[in-house]
Structure 1
Protein backbone atom coordinates (compact mmCIF):
# COMPACT_ATOMS: atom_id res chain seq x y z
CA UNK A 1 0.00 0.00 0.00
CA UNK A 2 1.40 3.37 -1.02
CA UNK A 3 0.98 6.55 0.97
CA UNK A 4 -1.09 9.10 -1.04
CA UNK A 5 1.37 11.95 -0.64
CA UNK A 6 -0.38 14.25 -3.11
CA UNK A 7 -3.68 13.77 -1.31
CA UNK A 8 -2.07 14.44 2.06
CA UNK A 9 -0.44 17.61 0.75
CA UNK A 10 -3.80 18.82 -0.52
CA UNK A 11 -5.52 17.85 2.73
CA UNK A 12 -3.04 19.72 4.91
CA UNK A 13 -2.29 22.58 2.51
CA UNK A 14 -5.82 23.42 1.40
CA UNK A 15 -8.23 22.15 4.06
CA UNK A 16 -7.03 21.26 7.56
CA UNK A 17 -4.32 23.92 7.88
CA UNK A 18 -4.06 25.81 4.63
CA UNK A 19 -7.77 26.55 4.65
CA UNK A 20 -7.23 28.84 7.64
CA UNK A 21 -4.44 30.83 5.92
CA UNK A 22 -5.78 34.08 4.49
CA UNK A 23 -2.62 35.42 2.86
CA UNK A 24 -1.82 34.00 -0.58
CA UNK A 25 1.93 34.14 -0.02
CA UNK A 26 1.65 32.35 3.33
CA UNK A 27 -0.42 29.64 1.68
CA UNK A 28 2.18 29.33 -1.04
CA UNK A 29 4.89 28.98 1.60
CA UNK A 30 2.86 26.27 3.34
CA UNK A 31 2.52 24.31 0.09
CA UNK A 32 6.26 24.64 -0.53
CA UNK A 33 7.06 23.16 2.88
CA UNK A 34 4.64 20.32 2.27
CA UNK A 35 6.16 19.48 -1.12
CA UNK A 36 9.61 19.55 0.47
CA UNK A 37 8.84 17.28 3.41
CA UNK A 38 5.87 15.08 2.47
CA UNK A 39 7.54 12.22 0.61
CA UNK A 40 8.75 8.64 1.33
CA UNK A 41 12.10 9.75 2.77
CA UNK A 42 10.23 10.69 5.93
CA UNK A 43 10.24 7.00 6.88
CA UNK A 44 13.83 6.34 5.90
CA UNK A 45 15.49 8.58 8.48
CA UNK A 46 17.30 10.53 5.76
CA UNK A 47 15.13 13.62 5.56
CA UNK A 48 16.41 16.73 7.34
CA UNK A 49 13.80 19.20 8.47
CA UNK A 50 16.62 21.72 8.60
CA UNK A 51 20.43 21.50 8.43
CA UNK A 52 21.57 19.21 11.24
CA UNK A 53 18.06 18.16 12.31
CA UNK A 54 16.83 14.82 10.96
CA UNK A 55 13.24 13.66 11.03
CA UNK A 56 12.64 12.13 14.49
CA UNK A 57 11.99 8.39 14.77
CA UNK A 58 8.50 7.09 15.48
CA UNK A 59 7.63 7.80 19.12
CA UNK A 60 4.92 9.30 21.29
CA UNK A 61 4.04 12.94 21.99
CA UNK A 62 6.48 13.39 24.88
CA UNK A 63 9.17 11.62 22.88
CA UNK A 64 8.87 14.19 20.08
CA UNK A 65 9.20 16.99 22.63
CA UNK A 66 12.32 15.40 24.07
CA UNK A 67 13.81 14.84 20.61
CA UNK A 68 13.25 18.49 19.67
CA UNK A 69 14.74 19.80 22.92
CA UNK A 70 17.79 17.58 22.55
CA UNK A 71 18.57 17.69 18.84
CA UNK A 72 17.22 20.97 17.44
CA UNK A 73 20.21 23.24 16.60
CA UNK A 74 20.34 26.82 17.89
CA UNK A 75 18.45 29.27 15.72
CA UNK A 76 20.64 30.69 12.96
CA UNK A 77 20.22 31.87 9.35
CA UNK A 78 21.24 28.53 7.84
CA UNK A 79 18.13 26.92 9.34
CA UNK A 80 16.08 29.11 6.99
CA UNK A 81 18.31 28.65 3.96
CA UNK A 82 19.96 32.05 4.38
CA UNK A 83 23.60 33.09 4.29
CA UNK A 84 25.25 33.37 7.74
CA UNK A 85 25.79 37.10 7.12
CA UNK A 86 22.01 37.57 7.17
CA UNK A 87 22.20 37.47 10.96
CA UNK A 88 24.67 40.35 10.96
CA UNK A 89 22.35 42.43 8.81
CA UNK A 90 19.35 41.55 10.98
CA UNK A 91 21.15 42.48 14.20
CA UNK A 92 22.47 45.69 12.64
CA UNK A 93 18.98 46.78 11.58
CA UNK A 94 17.56 45.86 15.00
CA UNK A 95 20.29 47.86 16.74
CA UNK A 96 19.73 50.86 14.49
CA UNK A 97 15.99 50.77 15.18
CA UNK A 98 16.57 50.45 18.93
CA UNK A 99 18.98 53.38 19.04
CA UNK A 100 16.67 55.45 16.85
CA UNK A 101 13.75 54.81 19.19
CA UNK A 102 15.89 55.72 22.21
CA UNK A 103 16.86 58.94 20.47
CA UNK A 104 13.22 59.76 19.76
CA UNK A 105 12.35 59.18 23.43
CA UNK A 106 14.88 61.72 24.64
CA UNK A 107 13.50 65.01 26.03
CA UNK A 108 13.13 67.52 23.22
CA UNK A 109 13.05 70.72 25.25
CA UNK A 110 16.75 71.44 25.50
CA UNK A 111 19.55 71.79 23.03
CA UNK A 112 22.21 69.14 22.72
CA UNK A 113 24.95 71.59 22.02
CA UNK A 114 26.52 74.33 24.01
CA UNK A 115 24.78 77.49 25.03
CA UNK A 116 21.38 78.30 26.46
CA UNK A 117 18.36 76.08 26.35
CA UNK A 118 16.58 75.84 23.02
CA UNK A 119 13.04 74.63 22.51
CA UNK A 120 12.05 72.06 19.92
CA UNK A 121 10.29 74.65 17.77
CA UNK A 122 13.26 77.01 17.86
CA UNK A 123 15.68 74.32 16.75
CA UNK A 124 13.34 73.05 14.03
CA UNK A 125 12.78 76.59 12.76
CA UNK A 126 16.52 77.16 12.50
CA UNK A 127 16.91 73.91 10.56
CA UNK A 128 14.06 74.91 8.22
CA UNK A 129 15.60 78.33 7.59
CA UNK A 130 19.03 76.85 6.94
CA UNK A 131 17.77 74.23 4.47
CA UNK A 132 15.47 76.61 2.59
CA UNK A 133 18.25 79.18 2.34
CA UNK A 134 20.67 76.68 0.80
CA UNK A 135 18.14 74.68 -1.23
CA UNK A 136 18.76 75.22 -4.97
CA UNK A 137 16.05 75.95 -7.50
CA UNK A 138 14.56 73.20 -9.61
CA UNK A 139 16.00 72.47 -13.04
CA UNK A 140 14.28 73.95 -16.07
CA UNK A 141 13.68 70.81 -18.10
CA UNK A 142 12.19 72.63 -21.09
CA UNK A 143 15.23 74.87 -21.38
CA UNK A 144 17.65 71.95 -21.12
CA UNK A 145 15.87 70.06 -23.89
CA UNK A 146 16.46 72.99 -26.26
CA UNK A 147 20.23 72.98 -25.72
CA UNK A 148 20.79 69.98 -27.99
CA UNK A 149 18.82 67.66 -30.20
CA UNK A 150 21.11 64.71 -29.49
CA UNK A 151 19.70 62.04 -27.23
CA UNK A 152 22.72 60.00 -26.26
CA UNK A 153 22.49 57.41 -23.46
CA UNK A 154 24.47 59.66 -21.12
CA UNK A 155 22.24 62.65 -21.85
CA UNK A 156 19.12 60.61 -21.12
CA UNK A 157 20.61 59.56 -17.79
CA UNK A 158 21.35 63.19 -16.99
CA UNK A 159 17.80 64.26 -17.83
CA UNK A 160 16.33 61.46 -15.74
CA UNK A 161 18.51 62.44 -12.80
CA UNK A 162 17.37 66.06 -13.13
CA UNK A 163 13.73 64.99 -13.17
CA UNK A 164 14.20 62.94 -10.01
CA UNK A 165 16.09 65.78 -8.38
CA UNK A 166 13.24 68.16 -9.23
CA UNK A 167 10.73 65.88 -7.51
CA UNK A 168 12.93 65.68 -4.42
CA UNK A 169 13.58 69.44 -4.28
CA UNK A 170 9.88 70.17 -4.74
CA UNK A 171 8.94 67.82 -1.90
CA UNK A 172 11.57 69.30 0.42
CA UNK A 173 10.47 72.87 -0.27
CA UNK A 174 6.75 72.04 -0.04
CA UNK A 175 7.00 70.09 3.22
CA UNK A 176 9.25 72.66 4.89
CA UNK A 177 7.01 75.56 3.85
CA UNK A 178 3.96 73.76 5.25
CA UNK A 179 5.74 72.96 8.52
CA UNK A 180 6.93 76.56 8.81
CA UNK A 181 3.36 77.81 8.40
CA UNK A 182 2.19 75.25 10.93
CA UNK A 183 4.74 76.40 13.51
CA UNK A 184 3.63 79.99 12.94
CA UNK A 185 0.01 79.01 13.53
CA UNK A 186 -1.17 79.66 9.98
CA UNK A 187 -1.85 75.95 9.34
CA UNK A 188 -3.08 73.12 11.51
CA UNK A 189 -0.28 70.75 12.48
CA UNK A 190 -0.95 67.39 10.85
CA UNK A 191 0.54 64.00 11.66
CA UNK A 192 2.89 64.28 8.68
CA UNK A 193 4.10 67.65 9.95
CA UNK A 194 4.75 66.18 13.40
CA UNK A 195 6.74 63.35 11.84
CA UNK A 196 8.75 65.84 9.80
CA UNK A 197 9.35 68.01 12.87
CA UNK A 198 10.59 65.01 14.86
CA UNK A 199 12.96 64.00 12.04
CA UNK A 200 14.40 67.50 11.75
CA UNK A 201 14.94 67.69 15.51
CA UNK A 202 16.66 64.28 15.61
CA UNK A 203 18.83 65.08 12.57
CA UNK A 204 17.38 62.20 10.55
CA UNK A 205 16.17 62.20 6.95
CA UNK A 206 12.34 62.39 6.84
CA UNK A 207 10.65 59.38 5.28
CA UNK A 208 8.85 61.53 2.70
CA UNK A 209 12.25 62.74 1.46
CA UNK A 210 13.97 59.37 1.67
CA UNK A 211 11.34 57.79 -0.59
CA UNK A 212 12.28 60.20 -3.38
CA UNK A 213 16.01 60.21 -2.68
CA UNK A 214 18.97 58.01 -3.46
CA UNK A 215 19.86 55.29 -0.91
CA UNK A 216 21.67 56.69 2.12
CA UNK A 217 22.12 55.89 5.80
CA UNK A 218 23.62 59.25 6.79
CA UNK A 219 22.22 61.83 9.15
CA UNK A 220 20.17 64.73 7.83
CA UNK A 221 23.09 67.16 7.88
CA UNK A 222 25.38 64.75 6.02
CA UNK A 223 22.59 63.73 3.64
CA UNK A 224 21.82 67.35 2.77
CA UNK A 225 25.52 67.97 2.15
CA UNK A 226 25.51 65.08 -0.32
CA UNK A 227 22.39 66.53 -1.91
CA UNK A 228 24.21 69.80 -2.53
CA UNK A 229 27.11 67.87 -4.07
CA UNK A 230 24.70 66.02 -6.35
CA UNK A 231 23.19 69.30 -7.48
CA UNK A 232 26.63 70.70 -8.27
CA UNK A 233 27.43 67.56 -10.26
CA UNK A 234 24.21 67.95 -12.25
CA UNK A 235 24.86 71.68 -12.73
CA UNK A 236 28.20 70.85 -14.32
CA UNK A 237 26.76 67.99 -16.37
CA UNK A 238 23.86 70.04 -17.77
CA UNK A 239 26.08 72.87 -19.02
CA UNK A 240 26.84 71.09 -22.29
CA UNK A 241 25.70 67.50 -21.53
CA UNK A 242 29.26 66.23 -21.91
CA UNK A 243 30.04 63.24 -19.72
CA UNK A 244 31.95 64.44 -16.62
CA UNK A 245 35.55 63.37 -16.28
CA UNK A 246 34.63 61.34 -13.18
CA UNK A 247 31.05 60.43 -12.27
CA UNK A 248 29.97 60.21 -8.65
CA UNK A 249 28.11 56.92 -9.02
CA UNK A 250 26.79 56.69 -5.45
CA UNK A 251 25.29 60.17 -5.80
CA UNK A 252 22.95 59.12 -8.61
CA UNK A 253 19.32 58.28 -7.99
CA UNK A 254 19.54 55.32 -10.35
CA UNK A 255 23.16 54.14 -10.70
CA UNK A 256 22.05 51.11 -12.73
CA UNK A 257 20.76 53.35 -15.51
CA UNK A 258 24.20 54.94 -15.82
CA UNK A 259 25.90 51.55 -16.01
CA UNK A 260 23.43 50.56 -18.71
CA UNK A 261 24.21 53.80 -20.56
CA UNK A 262 27.91 52.86 -20.55
CA UNK A 263 27.07 49.59 -22.30
CA UNK A 264 24.70 51.28 -24.74
CA UNK A 265 27.24 53.94 -25.67
CA UNK A 266 29.99 51.42 -26.42
CA UNK A 267 27.56 49.11 -28.24
CA UNK A 268 26.41 51.92 -30.54
CA UNK A 269 29.95 53.09 -31.20
CA UNK A 270 31.24 49.64 -32.14
CA UNK A 271 27.94 48.22 -33.45
CA UNK A 272 28.03 45.37 -30.97
CA UNK A 273 24.97 43.47 -29.69
CA UNK A 274 24.01 44.90 -26.32
CA UNK A 275 22.87 41.57 -24.88
CA UNK A 276 26.35 40.11 -25.43
CA UNK A 277 28.18 42.83 -23.50
CA UNK A 278 29.26 42.85 -19.87
CA UNK A 279 30.84 45.41 -17.59
CA UNK A 280 34.41 45.15 -16.36
CA UNK A 281 35.92 47.27 -13.59
CA UNK A 282 39.54 48.36 -13.23
CA UNK A 283 40.58 49.91 -9.92
CA UNK A 284 43.13 52.69 -10.37
CA UNK A 285 45.51 54.23 -7.86
CA UNK A 286 44.51 57.76 -8.85
CA UNK A 287 42.00 60.11 -7.28
CA UNK A 288 39.17 61.86 -9.07
CA UNK A 289 41.19 65.09 -9.23
CA UNK A 290 43.81 63.36 -11.38
CA UNK A 291 41.43 63.00 -14.33
CA UNK A 292 40.70 65.97 -16.56
CA UNK A 293 38.50 64.31 -19.17
CA UNK A 294 36.45 61.13 -19.55
CA UNK A 295 37.97 58.02 -21.19
CA UNK A 296 37.44 57.20 -24.85
CA UNK A 297 35.31 54.22 -23.89
CA UNK A 298 33.55 53.60 -20.61
CA UNK A 299 33.59 56.02 -17.70
CA UNK A 300 35.56 56.90 -14.61
CA UNK A 301 33.53 56.61 -11.41
CA UNK A 302 34.10 57.21 -7.72
CA UNK A 303 32.12 56.94 -4.51
CA UNK A 304 32.13 53.16 -4.07
CA UNK A 305 32.57 51.54 -0.67
CA UNK A 306 33.50 48.05 0.47
CA UNK A 307 31.45 46.47 3.23
CA UNK A 308 32.71 43.71 5.46
Structure 2
Protein backbone atom coordinates (compact mmCIF):
# COMPACT_ATOMS: atom_id res chain seq x y z
CA UNK A 1 0.00 0.00 0.00
CA UNK A 2 1.28 3.50 -0.84
CA UNK A 3 1.26 5.74 2.22
CA UNK A 4 1.86 9.45 2.80
CA UNK A 5 2.68 9.89 6.48
CA UNK A 6 2.18 13.15 8.40
CA UNK A 7 3.64 13.60 11.87
CA UNK A 8 6.15 15.56 13.90
CA UNK A 9 7.16 14.47 17.47
CA UNK A 10 8.45 11.25 19.05
CA UNK A 11 4.92 9.90 19.48
CA UNK A 12 4.45 9.90 15.69
CA UNK A 13 7.75 8.12 15.00
CA UNK A 14 6.44 4.81 16.35
CA UNK A 15 3.51 4.92 13.93
CA UNK A 16 5.75 5.74 10.97
CA UNK A 17 8.15 2.98 12.04
CA UNK A 18 5.36 0.40 12.32
CA UNK A 19 3.99 1.22 8.87
CA UNK A 20 7.46 1.10 7.34
CA UNK A 21 8.36 -2.20 9.02
CA UNK A 22 5.03 -3.73 7.99
CA UNK A 23 6.25 -3.45 4.39
CA UNK A 24 4.05 -0.63 3.18
CA UNK A 25 5.57 1.89 0.79
CA UNK A 26 5.92 5.24 2.53
CA UNK A 27 6.22 7.51 -0.51
CA UNK A 28 6.38 10.80 1.42
CA UNK A 29 6.74 12.09 4.97
CA UNK A 30 5.22 15.46 5.84
CA UNK A 31 6.43 17.14 9.04
CA UNK A 32 6.53 20.54 10.68
CA UNK A 33 9.42 22.88 9.74
CA UNK A 34 12.71 22.50 11.61
CA UNK A 35 13.05 24.73 14.67
CA UNK A 36 16.12 26.39 16.23
CA UNK A 37 17.45 24.71 19.36
CA UNK A 38 19.78 25.81 22.14
CA UNK A 39 21.93 28.91 22.36
CA UNK A 40 23.42 28.36 18.92
CA UNK A 41 20.00 28.53 17.31
CA UNK A 42 20.92 25.66 15.01
CA UNK A 43 17.90 24.20 13.24
CA UNK A 44 16.85 20.85 14.68
CA UNK A 45 14.96 18.36 12.49
CA UNK A 46 11.78 16.89 13.91
CA UNK A 47 11.96 13.30 15.20
CA UNK A 48 9.77 12.14 12.30
CA UNK A 49 12.05 13.86 9.78
CA UNK A 50 15.09 12.19 11.36
CA UNK A 51 13.51 8.75 10.91
CA UNK A 52 12.59 9.55 7.31
CA UNK A 53 16.10 10.72 6.45
CA UNK A 54 17.61 7.59 8.02
CA UNK A 55 15.42 5.46 5.75
CA UNK A 56 15.72 7.55 2.57
CA UNK A 57 12.09 8.64 2.59
CA UNK A 58 11.36 12.02 0.91
CA UNK A 59 10.36 14.76 3.37
CA UNK A 60 8.13 17.80 2.85
CA UNK A 61 7.91 20.53 5.53
CA UNK A 62 5.26 23.14 4.71
CA UNK A 63 4.83 26.17 6.91
CA UNK A 64 1.11 26.05 6.16
CA UNK A 65 -0.43 22.80 4.92
CA UNK A 66 -3.47 24.78 3.75
CA UNK A 67 -1.45 26.94 1.38
CA UNK A 68 -2.13 26.42 -2.33
CA UNK A 69 1.45 25.38 -3.05
CA UNK A 70 1.22 22.72 -0.29
CA UNK A 71 -2.01 21.33 -1.69
CA UNK A 72 -0.58 21.18 -5.21
CA UNK A 73 2.60 19.51 -3.96
CA UNK A 74 0.62 16.71 -2.29
CA UNK A 75 -1.45 16.14 -5.42
CA UNK A 76 1.66 14.70 -7.08
CA UNK A 77 1.63 11.73 -4.70
CA UNK A 78 -1.01 9.18 -5.61
CA UNK A 79 -1.25 7.55 -2.21
CA UNK A 80 -3.78 4.93 -1.13
CA UNK A 81 -4.00 6.51 2.30
CA UNK A 82 -2.63 9.42 4.33
CA UNK A 83 -1.78 8.45 7.92
CA UNK A 84 -1.58 11.30 10.42
CA UNK A 85 -0.18 11.17 13.96
CA UNK A 86 0.48 14.34 15.97
CA UNK A 87 1.23 16.37 12.86
CA UNK A 88 0.41 19.75 14.37
CA UNK A 89 -1.72 21.32 11.62
CA UNK A 90 -5.37 20.83 10.67
CA UNK A 91 -5.84 19.46 7.15
CA UNK A 92 -8.30 21.17 4.78
CA UNK A 93 -11.03 19.17 3.05
CA UNK A 94 -9.21 19.32 -0.29
CA UNK A 95 -6.37 17.27 1.23
CA UNK A 96 -8.68 14.97 3.19
CA UNK A 97 -10.33 13.98 -0.09
CA UNK A 98 -7.10 13.16 -1.95
CA UNK A 99 -6.24 9.55 -1.00
CA UNK A 100 -8.36 6.58 -2.06
CA UNK A 101 -8.94 5.41 1.51
CA UNK A 102 -9.02 8.85 3.09
CA UNK A 103 -6.87 10.31 5.88
CA UNK A 104 -6.47 8.10 8.95
CA UNK A 105 -5.52 9.76 12.23
CA UNK A 106 -4.01 8.05 15.28
CA UNK A 107 -5.17 9.82 18.45
CA UNK A 108 -3.91 8.99 21.95
CA UNK A 109 -7.24 8.69 23.74
CA UNK A 110 -10.47 6.72 23.69
CA UNK A 111 -12.53 9.09 21.61
CA UNK A 112 -14.79 10.97 21.91
CA UNK A 113 -13.18 11.52 25.30
CA UNK A 114 -10.11 13.76 25.40
CA UNK A 115 -10.12 15.49 22.08
CA UNK A 116 -7.34 18.04 21.84
CA UNK A 117 -3.60 18.47 22.15
CA UNK A 118 -2.62 16.70 25.38
CA UNK A 119 -4.90 13.68 25.99
CA UNK A 120 -2.13 11.51 27.45
CA UNK A 121 -1.12 13.82 30.30
CA UNK A 122 -4.72 14.69 31.13
CA UNK A 123 -5.67 11.02 31.43
CA UNK A 124 -3.11 10.70 34.26
CA UNK A 125 -3.93 14.05 35.86
CA UNK A 126 -7.65 13.25 35.91
CA UNK A 127 -7.14 9.81 37.40
CA UNK A 128 -8.46 7.73 34.51
CA UNK A 129 -8.25 3.97 35.00
CA UNK A 130 -7.98 3.33 31.25
CA UNK A 131 -6.65 5.16 28.23
CA UNK A 132 -5.82 4.02 24.71
CA UNK A 133 -5.67 4.92 21.06
CA UNK A 134 -8.37 5.58 18.51
CA UNK A 135 -7.95 5.60 14.75
CA UNK A 136 -10.43 7.70 12.81
CA UNK A 137 -11.19 9.02 9.37
CA UNK A 138 -10.28 12.67 9.67
CA UNK A 139 -12.94 15.34 9.33
CA UNK A 140 -12.58 19.10 9.06
CA UNK A 141 -12.82 19.64 12.84
CA UNK A 142 -10.53 18.80 15.76
CA UNK A 143 -10.53 15.04 16.45
CA UNK A 144 -14.18 14.74 15.43
CA UNK A 145 -13.94 12.22 12.57
CA UNK A 146 -15.68 8.85 12.36
CA UNK A 147 -13.94 6.21 14.48
CA UNK A 148 -12.34 3.13 12.93
CA UNK A 149 -10.59 1.02 15.60
CA UNK A 150 -9.71 1.37 19.30
CA UNK A 151 -7.20 -0.22 21.63
CA UNK A 152 -7.38 0.06 25.41
CA UNK A 153 -4.56 0.29 27.96
CA UNK A 154 -4.98 0.09 31.74
CA UNK A 155 -3.02 2.73 33.63
CA UNK A 156 -0.60 1.49 36.28
CA UNK A 157 -0.88 2.87 39.81
CA UNK A 158 2.40 4.73 39.30
CA UNK A 159 1.72 5.73 35.67
CA UNK A 160 3.34 8.98 34.56
CA UNK A 161 2.68 11.13 31.54
CA UNK A 162 5.98 9.87 30.13
CA UNK A 163 5.36 6.15 30.69
CA UNK A 164 1.85 6.33 29.24
CA UNK A 165 3.20 8.32 26.28
CA UNK A 166 5.67 5.53 25.51
CA UNK A 167 3.04 2.79 25.81
CA UNK A 168 0.52 4.59 23.62
CA UNK A 169 3.13 5.49 21.00
CA UNK A 170 4.02 1.83 20.42
CA UNK A 171 0.40 0.72 20.63
CA UNK A 172 -0.64 3.47 18.20
CA UNK A 173 1.77 2.18 15.58
CA UNK A 174 0.33 -1.31 15.78
CA UNK A 175 -3.21 0.02 15.63
CA UNK A 176 -2.42 2.18 12.59
CA UNK A 177 -1.12 -0.80 10.61
CA UNK A 178 -4.11 -2.92 11.62
CA UNK A 179 -6.46 -0.10 10.63
CA UNK A 180 -5.15 0.71 7.16
CA UNK A 181 -4.89 -2.96 6.23
CA UNK A 182 -8.46 -3.69 7.37
CA UNK A 183 -9.68 -0.50 5.69
CA UNK A 184 -8.08 -1.59 2.43
CA UNK A 185 -9.89 -4.95 2.67
CA UNK A 186 -13.19 -3.19 3.32
CA UNK A 187 -13.54 -4.77 6.75
CA UNK A 188 -14.16 -1.60 8.79
CA UNK A 189 -17.39 0.37 9.10
CA UNK A 190 -16.65 3.89 10.37
CA UNK A 191 -18.63 4.82 13.49
CA UNK A 192 -19.65 8.47 14.13
CA UNK A 193 -18.60 9.89 17.48
CA UNK A 194 -21.27 10.62 20.07
CA UNK A 195 -20.98 14.39 20.35
CA UNK A 196 -22.81 14.37 23.67
CA UNK A 197 -19.89 12.39 25.14
CA UNK A 198 -17.13 14.55 23.66
CA UNK A 199 -14.66 16.21 26.01
CA UNK A 200 -11.90 18.62 25.06
CA UNK A 201 -8.54 19.15 26.77
CA UNK A 202 -6.17 22.04 26.31
CA UNK A 203 -2.43 22.35 25.95
CA UNK A 204 -0.15 21.61 28.89
CA UNK A 205 1.68 24.72 30.12
CA UNK A 206 4.58 25.16 32.54
CA UNK A 207 2.57 27.18 35.05
CA UNK A 208 0.16 24.25 35.47
CA UNK A 209 2.89 22.60 37.53
CA UNK A 210 2.83 25.24 40.27
CA UNK A 211 1.32 23.22 43.11
CA UNK A 212 -1.72 24.51 44.99
CA UNK A 213 -1.32 22.80 48.35
CA UNK A 214 -4.95 23.52 49.31
CA UNK A 215 -6.02 20.83 46.86
CA UNK A 216 -6.47 17.21 48.00
CA UNK A 217 -3.30 15.10 48.16
CA UNK A 218 -4.70 12.60 45.66
CA UNK A 219 -5.10 15.36 43.05
CA UNK A 220 -1.62 16.75 43.62
CA UNK A 221 -0.09 13.28 43.41
CA UNK A 222 -1.78 12.73 40.03
CA UNK A 223 -0.56 16.14 38.86
CA UNK A 224 3.00 15.18 39.78
CA UNK A 225 2.75 11.98 37.75
CA UNK A 226 0.90 13.56 34.84
CA UNK A 227 3.48 16.34 34.39
CA UNK A 228 6.41 13.92 34.60
CA UNK A 229 8.72 14.37 32.67
CA UNK A 230 7.42 17.68 31.26
CA UNK A 231 6.87 20.33 32.40
CA UNK A 232 7.00 18.91 35.96
CA UNK A 233 5.13 19.82 39.13
CA UNK A 234 6.90 22.22 41.44
CA UNK A 235 6.79 24.37 44.55
CA UNK A 236 9.16 26.87 46.16
CA UNK A 237 11.32 26.75 49.27
CA UNK A 238 13.77 29.42 50.45
CA UNK A 239 13.27 31.30 47.19
CA UNK A 240 14.23 28.31 45.03
CA UNK A 241 12.12 26.12 42.81
CA UNK A 242 11.72 22.54 44.00
CA UNK A 243 10.47 20.04 41.41
CA UNK A 244 8.57 17.06 42.77
CA UNK A 245 8.90 13.84 40.78
CA UNK A 246 7.34 11.20 42.99
CA UNK A 247 5.05 11.26 46.01
CA UNK A 248 2.75 9.00 48.02
CA UNK A 249 -0.60 9.91 49.59
CA UNK A 250 -0.68 9.40 53.37
CA UNK A 251 -3.47 9.77 55.94
CA UNK A 252 -2.19 12.78 57.83
CA UNK A 253 -3.35 16.37 58.09
CA UNK A 254 -2.12 19.86 58.81
CA UNK A 255 -1.91 23.36 57.38
CA UNK A 256 -1.74 23.01 53.57
CA UNK A 257 1.80 23.41 52.24
CA UNK A 258 3.39 22.85 55.64
CA UNK A 259 5.93 20.12 56.37
CA UNK A 260 4.42 18.03 59.17
CA UNK A 261 7.05 15.32 59.47
CA UNK A 262 10.72 14.81 58.54
CA UNK A 263 12.67 11.56 58.80
CA UNK A 264 15.83 10.12 57.29
CA UNK A 265 13.98 8.83 54.22
CA UNK A 266 11.93 11.89 53.36
CA UNK A 267 9.29 14.32 54.55
CA UNK A 268 5.53 14.77 54.56
CA UNK A 269 3.65 17.87 53.38
CA UNK A 270 0.05 18.60 54.40
CA UNK A 271 -2.50 19.20 51.65
CA UNK A 272 -6.10 20.40 51.58
CA UNK A 273 -7.13 16.83 52.30
CA UNK A 274 -4.63 14.27 53.65
CA UNK A 275 -0.91 14.71 52.90
CA UNK A 276 1.92 13.74 50.58
CA UNK A 277 5.11 11.92 51.44
CA UNK A 278 7.68 13.28 49.00
CA UNK A 279 9.80 10.44 47.62
CA UNK A 280 11.79 12.03 44.79
CA UNK A 281 12.61 15.65 44.01
CA UNK A 282 14.99 18.12 42.41
CA UNK A 283 16.10 21.44 43.82
CA UNK A 284 16.80 24.23 41.35
CA UNK A 285 20.31 23.84 39.94
CA UNK A 286 20.69 20.32 41.35
CA UNK A 287 20.19 16.76 40.13
CA UNK A 288 17.05 14.70 40.57
CA UNK A 289 17.36 12.52 43.68
CA UNK A 290 15.59 10.53 46.38
CA UNK A 291 14.28 12.64 49.24
CA UNK A 292 16.51 10.87 51.76
CA UNK A 293 19.61 11.83 49.77
CA UNK A 294 18.33 15.38 49.46
CA UNK A 295 17.90 15.73 53.22
CA UNK A 296 21.49 14.72 53.83
CA UNK A 297 22.58 17.94 52.17
CA UNK A 298 19.62 20.26 52.79
CA UNK A 299 17.95 21.04 56.09
CA UNK A 300 14.16 20.90 56.25
CA UNK A 301 12.23 21.01 59.50
CA UNK A 302 8.64 20.36 60.47
CA UNK A 303 6.70 23.61 60.37
CA UNK A 304 8.45 24.95 57.27
CA UNK A 305 6.01 25.93 54.55
CA UNK A 306 6.19 25.61 50.79
CA UNK A 307 4.91 28.55 48.74
CA UNK A 308 3.91 29.07 45.10
CA UNK A 309 6.44 31.78 44.29
CA UNK A 310 10.02 32.86 44.96
CA UNK A 311 9.13 35.61 47.43
- TM superposition score normalised by structure 2: 0.22
More helix by share: 1
Q: Which has the larger radius of gyration?
A: 1
- TM superposition score normalised by structure 1: 0.22
